Structure 1
Amino acid sequence: MRFYNKSVEPSSATSGLSFKKHLRQRRFGPVPAVPEPSVEDAVTNILYNTPGPSSAPETRHILNCLVQNEPGVLSRLSGVLAARGFNIESLVVANTEVPDLSRMTVVFNGRNVQIEQARRQLEDLVPVWAVLDYTKTKLVERELLLIKISILGPEHLHEQMPTTRLDDTVEFADENVSPLKNTDKFKYNTPSDALRETFSHLRAVTELTKLFDGKVVDVSSDSMIVELCAKPSRVASFMKLCKPFGVLEASRTGVMAMPRAPVHDHYEPQTEHSYEDENDAVDASMLPPG
């Protein structure tokens, strides 16, 4: 049975701290006094001991997060990254083969030290099951692009935009006057020239789409919609090549990534120990008769 001195018995928060201090002094002796730093020491510590900014360049990182399929997970995860100053390039969320589990693929730029701190902070969230960094992993990356391209030519791009006012249209009172003849708005002399030029643009965009393994999903009298599924860099290259024709609208889904499976060699090469008995002497007693 232990007996405590009533003078040091804790009765409140302040007395509890003093009681712990009293027990520490009885067990380990008095706490050594630390001299307070002077003003010069404090200023020197701030000037010379403060680490400078990292000189490492920012790299592209891909985080694959397995999260619980419940409301509010996306806002909490993006809030953690936004609090650390990361600008998210793309964010894709979709269900997996497990009904209660969703996969989030996040792409952004940052430094390795900051990314590791953010990854550990994301793992501490309750609805997050796992966070994997695919930065140095061999991946299969795919992104879907839907792009609407003009087939009338870049000079008519402003007329096809939804911001064009109705007052800008030209009205022709005489029915015999063709709207494609000798006007500042159109450069073609006859409707046949306009049709040939439109067909030429349509054929050029179609050939470009085939080179990138894309697919034409819609064609109208003045535009066409192309679907392309490829790597992000290939999608960006396709959009740059489509700019001279006139891009009316573009929509990208974001990066979806999956690590590549390793290839195992099932045909192991024969080693030297397989032939170690070739030069051994043959026992004549083990041979069959004759």
Structure 2
Amino acid sequence: MLRTLLRTTTPAVRRCQPMRFYTSEPRSATSALSFKKHLRQRRFGPVPAVPEPTVEDAVNNILYNTPTNTGEPASRHILNCLVQNEPGVLSRLSGVLAARGFNIESLVVANTEVPDLSRMTVVFNGRNVQIEQARRQLEDLVPVWAVLDYTKTKLVERELLLIKVSILGPEHLHEQLPTAKFDDEAEFADENLAFHATDEKQMTPSETLRETFSHLRALTELTRLFDGKVVDVSSDSVILEMCAKPSRIDSFMKLCKPFGVLEASRTGVMAMPRSPVHDHYEPQTDHSYEDEAVDLTSLPPG
């Protein structure tokens, strides 16, 4: 009867019936994993074999995938180099710093009181470890006598600034800058006519002169407050000179910007360490005669 029923069953019904495996051994996790592996091989094919990495591959993976340590922030450093005054010294020193990726902010070279000896002041940003390596490499150069690190030293820093500022007002700044002029004369004439047509209130020459003088007086007072001086005055601009530390020069340039800065030139930082102050007149607190015993026979009668 059973054989007849199996023969009469359709293939579709046979596919719908679940497959069951009857084994006499107890089920375990190992048998379940092997069964899943068998099903995966039947469905997706055999698992590709991955070769084991060699020691060289493992070391390269660790070296190139390990992030660099960037915990130490870059700080401002000042190096003072005493070099021999000969051709090619500046290019060799700047090449050593450029090879290590330092961006030089300012570099000042000038002669000293000693013949054939120059002082070079370099200001740049970097980390302490890299700065020490660069300093030692600079000392190994033949024309370099000494390299002094003034980073943590009390210094006197000075920088010279020459700045040309407009006294006509910021609205006329585009006319004074050569890069902002119109290339076509006809276009400039059309723009000038349109500007005067839309301007309702035209200033007289006297009012223009008084406004120019007020700008000049304001710039002169500002320069006096920063201990600077006026070195040149023209009909439309003024040149100011100031010698101060870099932060003070930055503040002065920011205050001159609303008037209209036409041109600016800075020399760079010159530094010299401060001299310590010694007190040669210290008060005396210990007296030797106070500890001596008094001889009574030496005292006067009574």
Give the Cα–Cα distance (whole angstroms) in 1 for the partners of residues 205 and 278 of structure 2.
63
Where does residue 197 of structure 1 map in the other structure?
211
2:236 maps to which of 213, 222, 236: 222
Q: 1:39-97: CA deviations, max 9, x gaps?
A: 24651475179683331111000000000000000000000000000000000000000
Q: Tell me which amino acid in the other structure corresponds to 1:152.
A: L
Give the Cα–Cα distance (whole angstroms) in 1 for the partners of residues 201 and 214 of structure 2.
16
- Identity among equivalent pairs (%): 77
Query: Does 1:286 pair with 2:295?
Result: no
1:188·1:194 contact (CA, 8 Å) conserved in 2?
Answer: no
1:238 maps to which of 252, 270, 273: 252
Q: 1:192-246: CA deviations, max 9, x gaps?
A: 1111111111111111101100000000000000000000000010000000000
Which has the larger helix fraction?
2
Where does residue 227 of structure 2 map in the other structure?
213
Give the Cα–Cα distance (whole angstroms) in 2 for the partners of residues 213 and 161 of structure 1.
28
1:182·1:189 contact (CA, 8 Å) conserved in 2?
Answer: no
Where does residue 269 of structure 1 map in the other structure?
283
Q: TM-score, normalised by structure 1?
A: 0.77
Aligned with 1:130: secondary structure?
strand
Aligned with 2:70: secondary structure?
coil
Query: Does 1:153 pair with 2:169?
Result: yes
Aligned with 2:172: secondary structure?
helix
In the alignment, structure 2 segments of 5+ residues that lack a partner are: 1-52
Alpha-carbon offset, residue 278 of structure 1: 2.3
Alpha-carbon offset, residue 248 of structure 1: 0.2
Pairing of 1:1-290 with structure 2 (within 5 A): 39-40=54-55, 43-44=58-59, 47=62, 52-163=68-179, 164-165=181-182, 167=185, 170=189, 182=196, 188-272=202-286, 274=287, 277-278=289-290, 280-287=292-299
Cα-Cα RMSD: 2.6
Q: Tell me which amino acid in the other structure corresponds to 1:224.
A: V
1:141·1:231 contact (CA, 8 Å) conserved in 2?
Answer: yes
Q: Tell me which amino acid in the other structure corresponds to 2:205.
A: P
Alpha-carbon offset, residue 98 of structure 1: 0.6
1:96·1:102 contact (CA, 8 Å) conserved in 2?
Answer: yes
Aligned with 1:79: secondary structure?
helix
Would the alpha carbon gap of residues 88 and 279 (structure 1) be closer, same or farther in structure 2, given more than 3 Å must change? closer
Larger radius of gyration, structure 1 or 2?
2
Alpha-carbon offset, residue 183 of structure 1: 5.1
Would the alpha carbon gap of residues 92 and 152 (structure 1) be closer, same or farther in structure 2, given more than 3 Å must change? same
1:144·1:228 contact (CA, 8 Å) conserved in 2?
Answer: yes
In the alignment, structure 1 segments of 5+ residues that lack a partner are: 1-37, 172-178
Q: TM-score, normalised by structure 2?
A: 0.74
Q: 1:118-155: CA deviations, max 9, x gaps?
A: 00000000000000000000000000000000000011
1:60·1:110 contact (CA, 8 Å) conserved in 2?
Answer: yes
Aligned with 2:290: secondary structure?
coil
Alpha-carbon offset, residue 271 of structure 1: 3.1
Give the length in aligned residue pairs: 243
